Amino acid sequence: MLTDTLIRKTKKPAKPTKMMDGRGLFLLLAPSGGRWWRFRYNFAGKEKLLSLGTYPDVSLKAARDARDDARKLVAKGIDPSAVRREEKRATQEAAANTFTTVAREWLDNVKPKWAAIYHHDTTARFESYVFPDIGRTPIAAVTAPELLAVLRKIEKRGTVETAHKVARACGQVFRYGIATGRCERNPAADLRGALKARPKPKHMAALPASELPDFLHKIDQYDGELQTKLALRLLALTFVRTNELRSATWPEIDLDKAEWTIPAERMKTGAPHHVPLSRQAVVAFRQLRELSGKWPWVFPGRAPSKPMSKNTVLFALYRLGYHSRMTGHGFRALASTALNELGFRPDVIERQLAHIEKNAVRAAYHRSQYLEERTAMMQAWADFLDTQKDSETKVVAFKRARP
């Protein structure tokens, strides 16, 4: 029988040596100084060895306990080595199927179907809020309380809407995990009603049409940077989303054809968007080319390797006196209201706004670009803005401008 004292006093052997303990357990000593516990047993008429760890990481008592557990398995007709292999396989499988692994696989799977910005934002939420806490946990082992704890942290930051978005995305990952055989349940489904209610949506501030003349006049009188002034003018003329405008690159702009093609990866819809350019918009872009034509960005930032800051337009509106009354997105609401009043077809307006058709049947029948009608509408809109800007009155009634 071995003792800890005996083991500690034994010096390195000149060749591999076994120190027997009894009932199949021995300590294998190597000339290099390594000491490994081994259990010799017979199973199905064959002699086998089972590794039980190294000394002193595994103590003498722990090695004997492990030996006794293995002997019990043999007595039941179970091969301890087979059990060990299955445990190792399960451990490796769990490590290969962590929440992070499955989530990234799912993100790769949906990437071709999503707009680049939406995919980027969803990935960023996982990396910021989810992976640090449960990313290394096997997806099958994640519980509803663990997921709720992650979401509670987000809520405490005051971002309830983000918590709901993360919960929805996690639910999609778990459903993907179920479909691919990595888990059996979706704990996100158990959290229904556990999160704080979403705040009521806040509509983006937008001016009433009656203030158009004064607003357009103030844009013309803007005394800040010319690039910012032209950005405001082009938002009015094209009513694209602010991010779509500020991230525009010169290869997207064809001034000879008077068309701006925004690639799919920059669109919320995940499809390319064609913006017919009015004569007034072409003039504005030509002015910009003189300012930034040597850079890839139409609106370069202070560091030309990046586009203009997302706050530039907002701060310019503040400077014009429209704090809390107008936003970059407000140009879209203003144009939508006015164009409907001016008598343009709703389908044409919605297509120019690049809105997603929520009705699947309508979506199937309304894939037309309406490009000819949109081109005429965008020129009529630019001409209409000119009449408003030049008006001496502060309230100008809409009059049908459709050609």
> Is 395 inside any structural domain?
no
pLDDT at position 66: 94
pLDDT at position 43: 92
> Among residues 191, 219, 244, which one ends one of the domains?
191
Token representation of residue 220:
């013309």
Q: What is the CATH number of the domain that holds 46?
A: 3.30.160.390
CA dihedral sign of residues 168, 174, 178, 181: positive
What residues are annotated to the active site? Answer: 241, 268, 329, 332, 355, 365
Task: Note whether 130 and 82 are same-domain residues.
Answer: no
> Is 196 inside any structural domain?
no
Task: Note whether 123 and 226 are same-domain residues.
Answer: no
Query: Whose CA is closest to 258, among 243, 241, 238?
Result: 238
Task: Note whether 275 and 363 are same-domain residues.
Answer: yes
Distances (CA, A) of 87 to 83, 92, 93, 94, 182: 6, 9, 10, 10, 17
Q: What is the CATH number of the domain that holds 118?
A: 1.10.150.130
Task: Note whether 106 and 91 are same-domain residues.
Answer: no
Task: Note whether 172 and 57 are same-domain residues.
Answer: no
Task: Note whether 229 and 352 are same-domain residues.
Answer: yes
> Is 397 inside any structural domain?
no
The amino acid at residue 351 is R
> Among residues 123, 158, 191, which one ends one of the domains?
191
Task: Note down the domain range covering 167.
Answer: 101-191
**Positions in the chain short of pLDDT 70:** 92-95, 200-206, 356-369, 390-403
Task: Note whether 331 and 376 are same-domain residues.
Answer: yes
> Among residues 54, 72, 96, which one ends one of the domains?
96
Number of residues written out for the chain: 403
